[in-house]
């Protein structure tokens, strides 16, 4: 059978969507030598994906995402390959493509967040694109042979929003990336000591990226729903002792433990790793507004091999997002033996279970308190690291590929 996969999102910066597609293809190559796969790529990522299996063929589809050309040119490119099944790993299936397809819907963020701050376009273009999104995703869901989602929460949201039968949706969990495990995906080796980290050339990486220790870290986009503005507010509270004490219950403020806080937070830095786009520029303005230029380190893309080493030296990973489809960065942190502090949203609680300490993402004071709890309590830290190492082993890209292949076979 001939199966096509739209891989135009794959690329060196490893966004969640691109990483999902890349890992799917890599693992399908390990388990399926019978079906013939057609992989559609752009010129920019043509050489990024290395395909050694004889049953995988690259086809050029140099068409921009979310464009008119995507609706007009892409159906012809797909149709030229006489596919038995097409897998589009995003909602943007061309409405003029008439053959059999399945789709992966990672989230419904565009349904949840409709404010103009979520776009870089002017108001009229924003409204037009909003209309186009809603039309295309409804068309996609209605005409797909099957829908894949990365979590049960997103599955239930699709059922509720679009009145889809539960049997039409399959959940295929994603996983942590291999680079972030200290040894192997099944390793339970503890977090490396400072001496071990030094041997991993962490000083050079810190200097290269202008990173100052100690630091907590966030990795991802700077989109409004990622809630980084609240994280900055929380961080400002955290690093100012008087402000932090004001948000604690009275019994804690007057306790010996609270008065003798470890000096860690007084010298703490926040590292934000995100693409340098217009949202990053907005974030830089917010950092300046909060007077945190000396304490917040904002970097652009860092290659996974380097980021893995930097992550292992972090005091904690923080995920303040208001909405997620899955949550790969937090799992990467768990794989790296770093404690995770996360927003108490349904998806993250489903994926991280009891391996994270949760906070109210709308409450900067609660975010600050929970981060402090992880930084200042060795027992809490070690418990989270131990639980994280167990939790991350529940997920596997190979398992995700096997479950996806099962869906392909059912459709064919």
DSSP code, position 263: T
Q: How confident is the model at residue 177 (pLDDT cuts 50, 70, 90)?
A: very high
CATH no. of 2-175+396-411: 3.40.50.2000
- Identify the weakest region by mean pLDDT among 19-33, 178-192, 219-233, 313-327: 178-192
pLDDT at residue 275, rounded to an integer: 85
For 53, phi then psi, to 5°, come to: -70, 135
Question: Has residue 378 got a pLDDT over 70?
Answer: yes
Question: Has residue 401 got a pLDDT over 70?
Answer: yes
pLDDT at residue 260, rounded to an integer: 43
Domain-by-domain residue ranges, the chain? 2-175+396-411, 179-392
User: What's the average model confidence in pLDDT over 288-302?
Assistant: 91
How many other C-beta atoms are found inside a 10 Å radius of the C-beta of residue 198?
12
Query: 109-131 burial string, b = 16+ CB within 10 Å, else e?
Result: bbeeeeeeebbeeeeeebeeebe
Question: Has residue 348 got a pLDDT over 80?
Answer: yes
- Identify the weakest region by mean pLDDT among 56-65, 122-131, 146-155, 387-396: 122-131
103 near 144, Cβ under 8 Å?
yes
Question: Has residue 60 got a pLDDT over 70?
Answer: yes
Q: Is 113 helix (H, G, I), strand (E, B) or coil?
A: coil
The token duo for 327 is 């949550």
Domains 2-175+396-411 and 179-392 share a fold: yes
- Identify the weakest region by mean pLDDT among 122-126, 129-133, 230-234, 288-292: 122-126
More confident residue, 244 or 377: 377
pLDDT tens sequence across 12-40: 765 789 999 999 999 999 999 999 999 99
Question: Has residue 367 got a pLDDT over 90?
Answer: yes
pLDDT at residue 186, rounded to an integer: 53
pLDDT tens sequence across 79-101: 999 999 999 999 999 999 999 99
pLDDT at residue 232, rounded to an integer: 97
The token duo for 384 is 């989270």
Q: How confident is the model at residue 404 (pLDDT cuts 50, 70, 90)?
A: very high
Q: How confident is the model at residue 280 (pLDDT cuts 50, 70, 90)?
A: confident
Tell me the average pLDDT of the chain.
Answer: 87
Measured distance CA(50)–CA(206) in Å, rounded: 30
- Identify the weakest region by mean pLDDT among 185-194, 242-251, 254-263: 254-263
Measured distance CA(235)–CA(409) in Å, rounded: 49
Q: Is 299 helix (H, G, I), strand (E, B) or coil?
A: strand
Q: Is 101 helix (H, G, I), strand (E, B) or coil?
A: strand
Question: Has residue 195 got a pLDDT over 50?
Answer: no
Domain 179-392 fold is Rossmann fold (3.40.50)
Q: How far is CA 224 from CA 132, 135, 221, 329, in A?
A: 21, 23, 9, 17
pLDDT tens sequence across 104-162: 999 998 877 665 545 555 667 767 878 888 999 999 999 999 999 999 999 999 999 99
pLDDT at residue 29, rounded to an integer: 96
Measured distance CA(313)–CA(356) in Å, rounded: 18
CA Rg value for the chain: 22
Which pTM does this prediction carry?
Answer: 0.88
pLDDT at residue 261, rounded to an integer: 46
More confident residue, 194 or 340: 340
pLDDT at residue 94, rounded to an integer: 96
Measured distance CA(163)–CA(159) in Å, rounded: 5
């Amino acid at each position: 059978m001939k199966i096509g996969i739209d891989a135009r999102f794959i690329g060196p910066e490893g966004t969640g969507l691109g990483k999902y597609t890349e890992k799917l293809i890599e693992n399908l190559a390990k388990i399926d030598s019978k079906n013939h796969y057609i992989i559609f790529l752009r010129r920019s990522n043509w050489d990024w994906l290395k395909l050694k299996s004889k049953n995988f063929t690259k086809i050029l589809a140099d068409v921009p995402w979310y464009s008119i050309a995507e609706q007009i040119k892409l159906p012809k490119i797909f149709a030229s390959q006489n596919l038995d099944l097409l897998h589009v790993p995003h909602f943007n299936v061309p409405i003029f493509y008439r053959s059999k397809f399945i789709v992966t819907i990672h989230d419904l963020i565009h349904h949840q967040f409709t404010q103009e701050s979520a776009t870089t376009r002017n108001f009229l273009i924003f409204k037009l694109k909003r209309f186009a999104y809603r039309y295309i995703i409804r068309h996609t869901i209605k005409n797909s042979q099957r829908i894949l989602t990365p979590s049960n929460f997103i599955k239930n949201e699709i059922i509720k929003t679009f009145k889809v039968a539960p049997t039409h949706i399959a959940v295929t969990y994603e996983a942590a990336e291999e680079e972030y495990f200290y040894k192997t995906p099944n390793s339970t080796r503890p977090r490396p000591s400072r001496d071990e980290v030094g041997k991993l050339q962490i000083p050079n990486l810190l200097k290269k990226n202008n990173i100052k220790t100690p630091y907590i870290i966030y990795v991802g986009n700077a989109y409004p729903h990622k809630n980084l503005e609240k994280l900055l507010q929380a961080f400002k509270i955290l690093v100012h002792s008087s402000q932090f004490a004001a948000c604690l219950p009275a019994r804690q403020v007057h306790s010996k433990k609270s008065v003798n806080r470890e000096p860690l937070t007084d010298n703490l830095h926040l590292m934000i790793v995100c693409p340098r786009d217009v949202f990053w520029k907005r974030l830089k303005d917010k950092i300046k507004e909060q007077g945190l230029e000396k304490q917040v380190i904002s970097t652009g893309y860092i290659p996974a091999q380097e980021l893995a080493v930097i992550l292992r030296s972090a005091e904690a990973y923080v995920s303040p997002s208001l909405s997620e489809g899955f949550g790969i960065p937090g799992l990467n942190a768990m794989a790296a033996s770093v404690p995770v502090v996360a927003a108490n949203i349904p998806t993250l609680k489903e994926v991280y279970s009891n391996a994270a300490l949760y906070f109210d993402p709308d409450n900067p004071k609660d975010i600050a308190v929970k981060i402090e709890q992880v930084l200042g309590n060795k027992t809490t830290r070690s418990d989270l690291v131990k639980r994280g190492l167990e939790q991350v082993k529940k997920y596997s890209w190979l398992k995700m590929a096997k479950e996806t292949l099962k869906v392909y076979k059912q459709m064919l």
